[in-house]
Amino acid sequence: MKILENIATLYTCAMDGEQKDVHPIPNAALIWDNDSIVWVGKADEVPANYPINQRFDAEGRIVLPGLIDCHTHLAFGGWRADEFELRSLGAAYIDIAKAGGGILSTVKNTRKATKYELKEKARGVLAQMTALGVTTVECKSGYGLTTEDEIKVLEVYKELKTDVPNRLVSTFLGAHTIPPEFIERRDEYIDLLCKEMIPKISEAKLAEFCDIFVEISAFTIEEARRILETGKAHGLSPKIHADQLSCSSGAELAAELGAASADHLEYISDQGISDMAKKGVVAVSLPLATFYLCQPAIPARKLIEAGVPVAVSTDFNPGSAPSFHLPMAMMMACTLQKMSPAEALKGTTIYAAKAIQRDSEIGSLEAGKKADFIEIDAENVNHWLYHFRSNACERVFINGEHIHGN
């Protein structure tokens, strides 16, 4: 067994309690065996009978569960810095999309890219995410939009799973937008999604979730219901990009379908909030996208007060959120969304695990859970997110293995 000692404070981030309850243990120790946590508690209460054969010194840092980025579009071809310039000069995201840019421009580049190119680019990003303390990453397809190209991206994730230390969770987002060749016959694209892509992807076990972008420029509520119901019938749990640019009742549909999460939600209605609370749907907030698109923030306080768990994620993608810096997203959850640092922490640990249906395995530091944990050079969580630095993460452990830092 191995022990981590000299921890200033360990935040277990166990599920119980409210969003603000991250369950700090001052002067803590953590014991694990192989890939699983055996014991967590106060250093002076470590049971004497554990056969410890390796000791690690946290040097007075704080220890957190490995961070979970529960919403990313990890693999894509090209970038869109030209659109960033256009938006800086006043162009609207939605107008760029209507003119054939936006998601469709990345679709062109992703179709052109080889599996190898996509994989190596994603691998580089994952290494940098890991250094920031991110141990689990949800990864969406959605820039292929043909059966072949969607499968290509999902296979990139499948292959990466076997050669990176991070846990990767795949989501099929073939319903990201209508591809150009189907603009005049959208029903045929929806048939292709339901009759070919979903069955094939589910059969090949290439995804666990089925996501959709419900928006004026993408899919309607009725189309979403059909696609997500089809996904469910094939064993893919629903997720929705909902109420991002306008109020379109995506949150209500997420509740109706028992979705794992509804994401974005800048324009969520009061009805959407109460429906999500009733059904226990996680709200995934994406403050980097809100910030890059200069949008009003998600009403996080209203959601939290209604009892909706609010996760925090990057939405890393080449358009609305070209950054994978999860601690920066957490800092912005505090400044833009008026969440406390502790609330943001619960949003990137156990609530993020719930958004990807992994909360029985990861997301908190408790006996029986996977030994995914990180050491942060800060005196407490408030100080970490307040004194924002490029990287305060000193060491990363995944599955009990020391995989980053000295």
Q: Residue 119's binding partner, choosing from ligand NIG, Fe ion, none, with beta-carbon cut-off 5 to 8 A by kind?
A: none
**Angle of helix 250-257 versus helix 221-233 axis, rounded to 10:** 20
Q: Residue 171's binding partner, choosing from ligand NIG, Fe ion, none, with beta-carbon cut-off 5 to 8 A by kind?
A: none
The residues of the shown chain that bind ligand NIG, judged by CB under 6 A, are 102-103, 106, 213, 241, 244, 289, 315, 317-320
CA distance 370 to 362: 6
* Smallest distance from ligand NIG to CB 153, Å: 13
Which is nearer to ligand NIG, 7 or 173 (by Cβ)? 173
* Smallest distance from ligand NIG to CB 217, Å: 9
* Smallest distance from ligand NIG to CB 207, Å: 17
Report the C-alpha dihedral over residues 195, 198, 200, 203, rounded to 10 degrees.
-120
Q: Residue 318's binding partner, choosing from Fe ion, ligand NIG, none, with beta-carbon cut-off 5 to 8 A by kind?
A: ligand NIG
* Smallest distance from ligand NIG to CB 257, Å: 19
Q: Residue 384's binding partner, choosing from Fe ion, ligand NIG, none, with beta-carbon cut-off 5 to 8 A by kind?
A: none
Residue-wise burial string across 208-228, b where 16 or more C-beta atoms lie within 10 A, e elsewhere? bbbbbbbbebbbebebbbbbb
**Residue 291 in tokens:** 């910030």
**Contact between residue 264 and residue 70 where contact means Cβ atoms under 8 Å apart:** no
Which is nearer to ligand NIG, 289 or 392 (by Cβ)? 289
CA distance 249 to 241: 11
Q: Residue 103's binding partner, choosing from Fe ion, ligand NIG, none, with beta-carbon cut-off 5 to 8 A by kind?
A: ligand NIG
* Smallest distance from ligand NIG to CB 48, Å: 51
Q: What DSSP element (H or E) covers 12? A: none
> Helix, strand or coil for residue 163?
helix
Q: Residue 130's binding partner, choosing from Fe ion, ligand NIG, none, with beta-carbon cut-off 5 to 8 A by kind?
A: none
Which is nearer to Fe ion, 215 or 315 (by Cβ)? 315
Which is it for the CA torsion 103, 106, 112, 113, positive or negative?
negative
Which is nearer to Fe ion, 252 or 315 (by Cβ)? 315
Which is nearer to ligand NIG, 215 or 372 (by Cβ)? 215
Residue carrying structure tokens 């119901």: 229
Which is nearer to ligand NIG, 265 or 396 (by Cβ)? 265
Q: Where are the alpha helices (DSSP H) in 136-249?
A: 147-163, 186-192, 198-203, 221-233
Which is nearer to ligand NIG, 12 or 290 (by Cβ)? 290
**Contact between residue 151 and residue 204 where contact means Cβ atoms under 8 Å apart:** yes
* Smallest distance from Fe ion to CB 316, Å: 9
> Helix, strand or coil for residue 276?
helix
* Smallest distance from ligand NIG to CB 141, Å: 12
**Angle of helix 147-163 versus helix 103-112 axis, rounded to 10:** 70
Q: Residue 139's binding partner, choosing from ligand NIG, Fe ion, none, with beta-carbon cut-off 5 to 8 A by kind?
A: none
Q: Residue 144's binding partner, choosing from Fe ion, ligand NIG, none, with beta-carbon cut-off 5 to 8 A by kind?
A: none
Cβ-closest residue to ligand NIG? 319
The residues of the shown chain that bind Fe ion, judged by CB under 5 A, are 315
* Smallest distance from Fe ion to CB 73, Å: 6
Which is nearer to Fe ion, 74 or 342 (by Cβ)? 74
Phi and psi at residue 402, to the nearest 5°: -80, 105
> Helix, strand or coil for residue 47?
coil
